[in-house]
């Protein structure tokens, strides 16, 4: 592919999870991605990423934007910095992909979306769970009509894996499991069953050494009339532990899809049962048990690249992700009030 046709990518935040993004952008070179710059306020992290992935290193985002010609910026910092960094990109008419969670609050998420709209810039959220091979297969079965109309689901992310080791900041978050991982599972519920009318939620803090809730059980009524249960916990004591897999059970008018630990999919359709292994293949840079999540980053980045290059809105655009974030907000409110809550809706200013 001609160099001038490449999409020039800058990445901000070369920390824990960004390593997957860096590998994914490198894998997407032949599809038009060119990682030109990496930035981290920790000079050792940006230098290491620059050296490993062949890009120019920066410690300040403003300087990176001023010195480099960037088409698309991948913001992989923690959520507190997303609003300021996304605004820097929008003001320069640079497209942006922002890691989940979009921002620490609903108001900040709206602000990021409004700013991008004002500057007419392309904006997406890196919500990778729906792009995982397993979840794409589940969606494929739903779309094939094999289970008829899906009308009930249970989606579970339950683990006791020590997430605080790799991401120590999680122990300090006041809003923990719903905002950190529940958000992915809520997005899957939307992806499989559509938008949500109202939800109720119970939260628990079962680990006394952290600030926020580590367990959430959410019950949702979707606009289609279907019902789902979304579960997430970092405090499950079960052997074998399913980390980091999302287990799925979807019942429809004509059948059922079940995804069990070990990425096995069992489908019952019109009274006939079959089972299939649907896990992600290992790539040169992925390793078990994270390979499914890591490969999902590659699929997500590919979707971002293709959508941006085609001038299309991404499936997980900023505006789409507000609908997922609205479920997070509603869940916290429902847990605090003990009532069923309608997710907040965003109305564009213009
Ligand atoms: N999609 C997933 O499955 C998944 C998994 C893990 C983490 N995440 C998300 O990824 C994001 C990053 O998480 P992490 O655990 O990798 O964090 P991290 O702290 O390891 O990395 C963030 C990096 O950003 C740098 N940084 C912060 N502000 C900056 C700024 N203004 N300019 C330049 N650099 C800056 C920090 O120095 C740090 O190196 C979070 O939003 C997290 O929720 C997503």
Q: Could you tell me the distance, in angstroms and rounded to a whole number, from the CA of residue 280 to the centre of ligand 1? A: 24
Across 286-307, average pLDDT: 97
Q: Quick check: 47 and 57 in contact, CB under 8 A? A: yes
- Chosen CATH of 3-129+300-316 out of 3.60.40.10, 3.40.50.720, 3.30.1130.10, 1.10.645.10: 3.40.50.720
- 283 contacts: CB under 8 Å, gap ≥ 6: 23, 27, 291, 294, 295, 298
Residue of the nearest CA to atom 30 in ligand 1? 41
Mutational pocket test of ligand 1: of 45, 57, 77, 129, the residue with most ligand atoms within 8 Å of the beta carbon: 77
Read off φ and ψ for residue 72, nearest 5 degrees.
Answer: -140, 130
Q: In the structure, what pLDDT confidence band is assigned to residue 256 with cuts at 50, 70 and 90?
A: very high
* Helices and strands, counts by H and E, the chain: 11, 14
pTM equals 0.98
Domain ranges of the chain: 3-129+300-316, 130-286+324-337
Q: Cα separation of 328 and 282, whole Å?
A: 32
Sign (positive or negative) of CA dihedral 293, 299, 304, 305: positive
For the Cβ of 158 lying below 6 angstroms from any atom of ligand 1, the answer is no
Cross-sheet strand order for the sheet of 56-58:
56-58, 33-39, 7-12, 72-75, 95-99, 123-126
2 has pLDDT over 50? no
DSSP string, 80-123: GGHHHHHHHHHHTT-EEEEESS--SSHHHHHHHHHHHHHTT--E
- 308 contacts: CB under 8 Å, gap ≥ 6: 7, 71, 72, 95, 122, 314
Q: Could you tell me the distance, in angstroms and rounded to a whole number, from the CA of residue 252 to the centre of ligand 1? A: 38
* Other CB atoms within 10 Å distance of the CB of residue 2: 6
258 has pLDDT over 60? yes
| Short-list 18, 7, 89, CA closest to 48 | 18
Mind listing the pLDDT tens digit for each residue in 265-274? Answer: 999 999 999 9
| Short-list 130, 152, 261, 158, CA closest to 217 | 158
Q: Quick check: 118 and 349 in contact, CB under 8 A? A: no
| Short-list 71, 99, 161, 66, CA closest to 296 | 99
pLDDT at 4: 55
Q: 130-286+324-337 belongs to which CATH class? A: alpha beta
pLDDT at 316: 98
Q: Quick check: helix, strand or coil at residue 260?
A: strand
Q: Could you tell me the distance, in angstroms and rounded to a whole number, from the CA of residue 98 to the centre of ligand 1? A: 10
Across 64-84, average pLDDT: 98
Read off φ and ψ for residue 9, nearest 5 degrees.
Answer: -110, 135
Q: In the structure, what pLDDT confidence band is assigned to residue 3 with cuts at 50, 70 and 90?
A: very low
For the Cβ of 316 lying below 6 angstroms from any atom of ligand 1, the answer is no
Mind listing the pLDDT tens digit for each residue in 168-199? Answer: 999 999 999 999 999 999 999 999 999 999 99
Q: Cα separation of 260 and 246, whole Å?
A: 9
Q: Quick check: 216 and 331 in contact, CB under 8 A? A: yes
Q: State both tokens at 126.
A: 């890196």
Mind listing the pLDDT tens digit for each residue in 151-175? Answer: 999 999 999 999 999 999 999 999 9
pLDDT at 6: 97
Mind listing the pLDDT tens digit for each residue in 206-251? Answer: 999 999 999 999 999 999 999 999 999 999 999 999 999 999 999 9
Q: Cα separation of 112 and 123, whole Å?
A: 9
Q: Could you tell me the distance, in angstroms and rounded to a whole number, from the CA of residue 17 to the centre of ligand 1? A: 7
Across 76-101, average pLDDT: 98
Q: Could you tell me the distance, in angstroms and rounded to a whole number, from the CA of residue 148 to the centre of ligand 1? A: 40
| Short-list 230, 231, 223, 229, CA closest to 198 | 223
């Amino acid at each position: 592919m001609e160099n001038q046709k490449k999409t020039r990518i800058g990445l901000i935040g070369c920390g824990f999870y960004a390593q997957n993004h860096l590998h994914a952008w490198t894998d997407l070179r032949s599809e038009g991605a060119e990682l030109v710059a990496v930035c981290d306020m920790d000079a050792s992290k940006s230098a290491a990423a620059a050296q490993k992935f062949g890009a120019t290193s920066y410690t300040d985002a403003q300087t990176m934007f001023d010195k480099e010609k960037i088409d698309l910026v991948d913001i992989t910092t923690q959520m507190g910095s997303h609003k300021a960094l996304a605004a820097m990109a929008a003001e320069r008419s640079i497209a942006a992909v922002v890691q989940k969670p979009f921002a620490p609050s609903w108001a900040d998420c709206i602000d990021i979306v409004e700013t991008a709209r004002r500057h007419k810039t392309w904006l997406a959220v890196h919500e990778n769970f729906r792009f995982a091979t397993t979840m794409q297969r589940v969606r494929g079965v739903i779309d094939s009509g094999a289970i008829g109309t899906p009308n009930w689901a249970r989606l579970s992310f339950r683990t006791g894996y020590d997430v605080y080791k790799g991401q120590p900041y999680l122990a300090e978050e006041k809003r923990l499991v719903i905002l950190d991982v529940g958000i992915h599972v809520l997005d899957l519920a939307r992806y499989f069953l559509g938008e949500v009318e109202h939800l109720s939620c119970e939260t628990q803090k079962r680990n006394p050494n952290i600030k926020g809730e580590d367990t959430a059980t959410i019950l949702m009524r979707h606009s289609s009339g279907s019902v789902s249960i979304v579960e997430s916990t970092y405090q499950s004591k079960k052997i074998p532990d399913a980390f980091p897999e999302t287990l799925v059970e979807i019942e429809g008018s004509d059948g059922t899809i079940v995804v069990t630990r070990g990425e096995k999919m069992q489908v019952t359709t019109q009274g006939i049962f079959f089972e299939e292994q649907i896990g992600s293949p290992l790539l040169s840079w992925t390793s078990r048990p994270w390979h499914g999540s890591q490969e999902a980053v590659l699929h997500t980045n590919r979707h971002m690249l293709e959508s941006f290059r085609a001038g299309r809105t991404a499936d997980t655009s900023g505006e789409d992700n507000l609908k997922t974030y609205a479920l997070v907000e509603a869940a916290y409110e429902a847990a605090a009030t003990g009532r069923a809550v309608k997710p907040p809706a965003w109305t564009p200013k213009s």
